[in-house]
A and B are shown apart, each in its own frame.
Chain A
């Protein structure tokens, strides 16, 4: 029986790499502290693989043929994609993949009624994968990753209830389909509030972000599912804040557990609220 040994979530924003040094000191300190904590946790968890649940910003598919989920089955994952390299201010990275595990995720989720596509080609990565990889030193850790890119920008896409349920199916798959004693990390990356390319771009809804982190800290998943609706996400930024659905998917996979909020900051030129959390994976989840 494979184990989920780590579950974390953090924002990505291109400016976290290329514009990091220009940010106010308090924002830089928070990011260094929170992502530094994630770096340590990834090292200490002795993971065999990280499933990175990230948002696809229309980097891999045309808008009229948009899958809800794409799993990366490549033996190596190279990034960032050419168009995004200068924009991110990011060097190139190469991460080992786990095609064997990725195939089981593809088949296991589809058998459980979750339509998932996959590719053996290298996916195009922008800030979705590049920022968490660079900020948490995953390349140096040597831990393989499997990207699971999620549609949260081209309607219709799965809402909070469906994402949570898909997370539960992913947990069942990890428990029953993956090799025994495999140590799996779950890393949700996306959000927080922002409206990329929209009329409120550069605006960050700090009240929403702090409210959301408070909900996670308080630990009631029922409350998250009843209150963090697609409509509420849109009010905090259309096309961007919905990226938090990746966090909700991971919450479904781990069940209710204590959640440590590692920090939050908002600097308008990052164009996105920046927060990070880590769930305590030591105790058994409630109700299981």
Chain B
């Protein structure tokens, strides 16, 4: 998973940066994810990967892992101290292991 393979042009990067920088957009994303995704020129593969929380595919498309950790906190509603639950779910995805589920993510 070398950083040399990241795709700087990937639209998903813009989506995550906007979600980080705009709390209102983040709220909207939680309420209606599809409506927010509609506004970004994501490829079909990117969009499906996001919808399926498939970080492995997203990374294979060139997504930067540092933003992956931040995106996981948004996707798994786990932005509290440490956010270990979100990272464990991200790790399960990129390792192709069973999803540890939402229990720890929501309770962390």
Contacts from A to B (Cβ < 8 Å) = 14-15, 17-19, 57-59, 62-64, 82-83, 86-89, 124, 153-155, 195-199, 201-202, 234, 238-239, 269, 271
With A62-B14, A62-B17, A197-B69 as known contacts, state yes or no: A153 contacts B3, CB within 8 Å.
yes
Query: Does the CB pair A58–B80 fall under 8 Å?
Result: no
Count how many chain B residues have C-beta atoms less than 8 Å from C-beta atoms of the other chain.
Answer: 34
* Chain A, Cβ-Cβ closest to B20: A83
Query: Does the CB pair A202–B2 fall under 8 Å?
Result: no
Give every chain B residue within 8 A of A239 (Cβ-Cβ).
3, 64-66
The A/B interface has a contact count, at CB < 8 Å, of 100
Query: Does the CB pair A202–B82 fall under 8 Å?
Result: no
Contacts from B to A (Cβ < 8 Å) = 1-4, 6, 8-9, 13-14, 17, 20-21, 23, 26, 64-70, 72-73, 79-84, 87, 90-91, 94-95
B80 to chain A, nearest CB (A): 5
With A62-B13, A62-B17, A63-B8 as known contacts, state yes or no: A14 contacts B81, CB within 8 Å.
yes
Query: Does the CB pair B64–A63 fall under 8 Å?
Result: yes
12 CB contacts below 8 A, A to B, read: A15-B81, A57-B66, A62-B14, A63-B8, A83-B79, A87-B82, A88-B81, A196-B65, A196-B69, A198-B65, A201-B87, A238-B2
Query: Does the CB pair A202–B81 fall under 8 Å?
Result: no
Query: Does the CB pair B1–A153 fall under 8 Å?
Result: no
Query: Does the CB pair B91–A199 fall under 8 Å?
Result: yes
A133 to chain B, nearest CB (A): 17
Query: Does the CB pair A87–B79 fall under 8 Å?
Result: yes
Known: A196-B66, A201-B69. 4 other contacts (CB 8 A): A64-B9, A195-B65, A198-B1, A201-B91
Query: Does the CB pair B3–A238 fall under 8 Å?
Result: yes
With A64-B8, A153-B3 as known contacts, state yes or no: A238 contacts B65, CB within 8 Å.
yes
* Chain A, Cβ-Cβ closest to B8: A64
